[in-house]
Structure 1
């Protein structure tokens, strides 16, 4: 259902074709009791020829459509590009977290020579492979030479190879810091996507409001231009009648006041239009971050209210209930809850004792295939705080953070649902108000035309005529403002749903 069109008055009493289809307005004071006097005054019709442009007809071809405008914003606006960087940052963090599971080569060589004697030469090398569940696989080769080698470091002449594993039996088996970092980094990807959508939607909303304000100020300028032209022609016509003695001189003052008021309103609306254009230019960019400036010849889409819902896809949202399961704000809050839940699990794991067990099979390089498992090295490491006050306190804080985030998630679900319903109600109400406003405009137009007819027969005054016209101008300005509210309300529903693609 389209928003009602704004009707512009055609001050035509008994209109006849003229020029390229415009009407004729006649305002002649006619003495009803003298038909011949009426015919004598017909020559004065020329003072009241008024050309009224039809509202909504745009002879200019430089129309910047709303859909085209949003395309520029989506593709080139710096804030949208900045939102894309959040995804790159999250991917970089994921790469860093995966780096904790990269195999590692370590070599430690220490040698001492003094007075021609080799005191010692020690080589320790290893190749470590971290695994997901905290288990570490390690292969190594050690060698030592010299006359003063520590007996603990004495090895066979060929050196010694080793292969074994270290297993955590308490802390670090089911979850540890590197596992938590990797899980968080994966969640950060989803969080980054959601935040990017929210940022892009906010940019598109701000850009839409700027476009709608530009359209509103443009429509107001065109409206005031039309009525200024009417007022100036009426003033000239009345001045001519005053010179011929058919109108009192005070009517020229009344007509001059309305001309000056129309000029003042037009000047103010033109200032608003300039500001609206500058505000709109903030959202127009090209490649390589080149800003664009809106040219004076560009005009907004004339009947945007008919296409706004299709462009923003809000027509489907007005049909019925809306699902919020894939809403980016819900996704972002769920991601934050998952991040805090990983921290909680990590803190809970700290309540377990540290118990690491390692076994390494030892062999000379030449006897590796003998598989004599009687040569080995084992190690056990155990520690456990008696009161665990630090660990229990950290776990409580982690639980509180999870609960707080869950409260925010539940609250946001309810708020989003209510916001959608409220916005749907507002849009339906604005459509009804638009119909009423359109009827008011039509009624004021009929009243003005009737008053103009009475004025032509000398049964009305310029004061009443201007009063009727002011009422019509006020009604049309209200219709423009209501149209603007309708467009912004659609953009608000688009922002609430946060689906920029």
Structure 2
């Protein structure tokens, strides 16, 4: 039996690395789509997970604020004995229950023994029980610091969710930029690789024509220059691709393990069609009413609510401090027989004559609210204009994409025609290289405009700040 357990344990250990390796090599596929990439970033990236801690911190702060209403047990015991004489033995214990509206319920037990103590503390031999209530009639009845802390804690929970979204969207935007950079450098490297192949094939053909006497020797020099230029372009593009791939790897995590892309993995080829749907920027319309759900607006509105709670607390300080307490007292064995004449009663009252401190604090609280309202109005306008400007940019880039696509088609037609003329002996390597250079530059412009289009959609996604 022991041998069987050992074998079973070894099999488990052998299976763990294979599962782990499968997770680590999950990206070693032919294509990493943009939607899949964003999914990994949202789920595993440390900064996104760190942003989620905003909500956890707010929940902990709310729990701490609610602790102000927890029932409390207090025990105070003093005893003095010297030279076989018990000077005093004093026991004061209580159980307090704070309530929402500043009212406090208190039950207590006091017991006093000894020869030397304050007569005011004297109790019957069995001790003295009490049950009472304390009510603030001025400050603290409708709002106090404990109530304000709980209200602010609840509002802080809403604020933390908005801040979580704003922090997460920044990570997703940076990750998107890294993905688009990777796609651009990958496409440029593939472009130079294909045109290096064309130039090399042309170079070999020119050398054969020279050997047959159908082309001047200088054509081989010009064709060779083109090949070497393409080699330099490809080497530079490959260097950019490696750097872009490493930059992208900063955002690729599985669980707590960073993942590096394999060299054979390519970016999504159909990104132009899928990007607006992935980022949800294809159906976005500017509506001021819809901005109420924007995390930035929610954050500012929640801060306004927190400032309003503070204003109410400051306004409450204008009231006098007037606390009234009543406690029914009785011996423990006679507590069930009510005697109205056995009680303790206290009244505390204080009121500053000029209230300059309280009025000044209230005015400062109102000014903070006014300042936050101005900021909220400005942020609404800026968000609306940013969305409009970004949508205009996306439409412009979409139009530019159509123009550059037509231009690439025209340059391709010109190059094909020039190659046909060369095959008939009516053109030259110089003209073919010139046409090809124009086509390569047009393709590079096409790739650049596509990347701008991707980045513009990501920027709109960033402005809208909806990472979930």
Q: TM-score, normalised by structure 2?
A: 0.91
**Alignment CA distance shift 1:61-1:112 (3 Å):** closer
Measure, in 2, the Cα distance between the counterparts of 1:188 and 1:113: 53
1:44-123 counterparts in 2 under 5 A? Answer: 62-123=30-91
1:187 aligns to 2:155 (yes or no): yes
- Determine which structure has the larger helix proportion and give its number: 2
Any gaps of 5 or more consecutive residues in structure 1? 1-59
1:327 aligns to 2:294 (yes or no): yes
Measure, in 1, the Cα distance between the counterparts of 2:170 and 2:212: 63
Measure, in 2, the Cα distance between the counterparts of 1:305 and 1:322: 30
Residue 349 of structure 2, aligned match among 345, 357, 382:
382
Residue 231 of structure 1, aligned match among 177, 192, 199:
199
Measure, in 1, the Cα distance between the counterparts of 2:361 and 2:171: 39
1:342-353 counterparts in 2 under 5 A? Answer: 342-353=309-320
Which residue is 2:245 aligned to? 277
Aligned length: 441
CA-to-partner distance for each residue in 1:296-326, whole Å, 9 max, x for gaps?
1111111111111122222221698882121
| Displacement after TM superposition at 1:184 (Å) | 0.7
| Displacement after TM superposition at 1:441 (Å) | 0.5
1:460-479 counterparts in 2 under 5 A? Answer: 460-479=427-446
Which residue is 2:8 aligned to? none
CA-to-partner distance for each residue in 1:438-474, whole Å, 9 max, x for gaps?
1000111111122222222333222121111111111
Measure, in 2, the Cα distance between the counterparts of 1:394 and 1:213: 53
Which residue is 1:355 aligned to? 322
1:395-410 counterparts in 2 under 5 A? Answer: 395-410=362-377
Which residue is 1:298 aligned to? 265
Indicate the larger mover: 104-113 or 396-405: 396-405
Measure, in 1, the Cα distance between the counterparts of 2:420 and 2:29: 37
1:418-429 counterparts in 2 under 5 A? Answer: 418-429=385-396
Measure, in 1, the Cα distance between the counterparts of 2:300 and 2:307: 11
Cα pair 2:286 2:388 within 8 Å, conserved? no
**Alignment CA distance shift 1:335-1:322 (3 Å):** closer
TM-align CA RMSD: 1.6
Residue 196 of structure 1, aligned match among 144, 149, 164:
164
- Between structure 1 and structure 2, the one with the greater Rg is 1
Measure, in 1, the Cα distance between the counterparts of 2:302 and 2:263: 47
Secondary structure (helix, strand or coil) at the match of 1:352 reads coil
Residue 459 of structure 2, aligned match among 492, 497, 501:
492
Which residue is 2:381 aligned to? 414
CA-to-partner distance for each residue in 1:280-310, whole Å, 9 max, x for gaps?
10000111x1110111111111111111112
Secondary structure (helix, strand or coil) at the match of 1:325 reads helix
1:444 aligns to 2:411 (yes or no): yes
**Alignment CA distance shift 1:320-1:379 (3 Å):** closer
